[in-house]
Amino acid sequence: MSNTKIYYTKPSITELEVGYATDAARNGWGDKCYEYIEKFEAKFKEFTGSKYAIATSSCTGAIHMGLAALGIGLDDEVILADTNWIASAAPITYLGAKPIFVDILPDTWCVDPARVEDAITDKTKAILAVHIYGNLCEMDKLLAIGDKYGIPVIEDAAEAIGSYWHDHHAGTLGQFGTFSFHGTKTLTTGEGGMFITNNPELHEKVLALSNHGRAKGQVKQFWPDDIGFKYKMSNIQAAIGCGQMERIDDLVSRKRQIFQAYQAGLRDISGFSMNPEKKGTINGYWMPTVVFEKSTGVVREKLQVLFSKKNVDARGFFYPLSSLPMFDDRLGNLNSWDIPNRAINLPSYHDLTEREIERVGLIIKSSLIKG
C-alpha cells in the first residue's frame, strides 16, 4: 500500500473558481467592485434559506459584529461550550465581555443545554451555540432557554455548512448565524466568512459596522455614522465563493460520502464513537472525528505518533478553552477536559480516495489493538 502523504484537509478548487477569480481580478473594479460579493451573498441566502447575508473577511469578524450589534459590552457574559476553537470566544473579549464556559454533551460534543441554564446570571446577554465539526447543538432546548430568560441565542456555524436541524440550515435558527470559509472548510474562499440573519434591524446594524460604520443610504461621501470595523470580504474572494456555491451540493455530498466510507470501513470494530446524526438532523460532516472509549486506553499522544509513522496528518480535538493560559480553569467541565484526550479528527478532503480512507482506517484499527 502506498505511503504517499495524506493531508487532513485541502480545498476543492476547479477551473470554475479560477475563472471567476480571474474575471474579478481583471474586471472587478470601479462600479463592479462589489459585483461578486453581492452574487455570493445572494447564492448563500438561497442555499441556507436566510433573509439577509453579509460576506465578511472571517467568521471571527462576523461574530464580533453580531455581538456588537446586539449591544454586548463591558462586563456582560456570553455562555458557550468549553470545548471550542478560540475564534468562538475571542470576539466576546474584544467587546470587554466575559465568555462563560460550560460543559459539552458526551455524544455531540456540543454545548450541554442543562449546563447553559445553570450558568445564567443577570449579566448573561447571549448564548452562543457552536456546531462543532458539523455536529448540531440541541437547538430546540437552547431556544427554549433563550425564550424563558429573554436571552438571544446565536449560532457559530463555522463548521456546519450542509448541516440541518429539522429542515432548518444551521445558522438560521438563532438571532444570527456565522460561517467560515477558511481553506480547511467544506466551502472556501481562502479566508472569509458570512453573517446571516432574518432580523432586518440586526442586518442593517451589522452592514454598517462591516464598513467603518457607514450606514446604508448615507448620501455624504466618507461619512461614518458610528465607529465600525473593516470586516468586508474582497471581490476576488467572493468570486471564488460564487464558484464554490455552484458546486455546494456536490461539496457537501462528498463530505458525507467520506464519513460514510470511514463508518463502513470501521463497522467491524468497537471501542469508539464518531460524529452523530440524530433523528431529524442532517450532518454536513465537515470533520470526521473518532472518540475512543476510556476502556481502550487510546490517548491523543499515541494516536498522533501512529498517524505520523504512517505519513498521515490527523488533527487533535479542540482543547477546552478554560485550559488556555488567558482563561480560568473550569475543571468541573468533565467532558470538555476528558474527551479531547482520547479523540482525533480524520483526513476528509474532497479528493480523498478509497485507498487512502482504507489506510486511515487501518491506523484506527491498529490503535485499538495496541491500546
Rounded CA separation 202/207 (Å): 8
CATH 3.90.1150.10 fits 248-370, yes or no: yes
Average pLDDT of span 121-125: 98
Residue with cell string 451555540: 129
Q: Could you report the per-residue pLDDT of 273-296, keeping only the tens digit for each? A: 999 999 999 999 999 999 999 999
Residue 278: C-alpha distances to residues 135, 136, 163, 169, 283 (Å): 9, 9, 11, 15, 9
Q: Could you report the per-residue pLDDT of 171-220, keeping only the tens digit for each? A: 999 999 999 999 999 999 999 999 999 999 999 999 999 999 998 888 89
Q: Phi and psi of 181, rounded to 5°? A: -120, 30
Residue with cell string 483526513: 347
The per-residue pLDDT for 2 is 72
Q: Phi and psi of 207, rounded to 5°? A: -60, -45
Q: Could you report the per-residue pLDDT of 293-345, keeping only the tens digit for each? A: 999 999 999 899 999 999 999 899 999 999 999 999 999 999 999 999 999 99
Q: Could you report the per-residue pLDDT of 57-107, keeping only the tens digit for each? A: 999 999 999 999 999 999 999 999 999 999 999 999 999 999 999 999 999
DSSP per-residue string spanning 191-242: S-EEEEES-HHHHHHHHHHTBTT--TT--STT--SS---B-BPPHHHHHHHH
The per-residue pLDDT for 216 is 82
Which residues belong to CATH 3.40.640.10 in the chain?
A: 15-246
Average pLDDT of span 228-240: 97
Fold exhibited by the domain 15-246 = Aspartate Aminotransferase; domain 2 (3.40.640)
- What percent of the chain clears pLDDT 70, i.e. is strictly above it? 99
The per-residue pLDDT for 368 is 87
CB atoms within 10 A of CB 270: 10
Which residues belong to CATH 3.90.1150.10 in the chain?
A: 248-370
CB atoms within 10 A of CB 254: 19
Rounded CA separation 152/143 (Å): 8
- What percent of the chain clears pLDDT 90, i.e. is strictly above it? 94
pLDDT band per the 50, 70, 90 thresholds, residue 371 = low
The per-residue pLDDT for 1 is 60
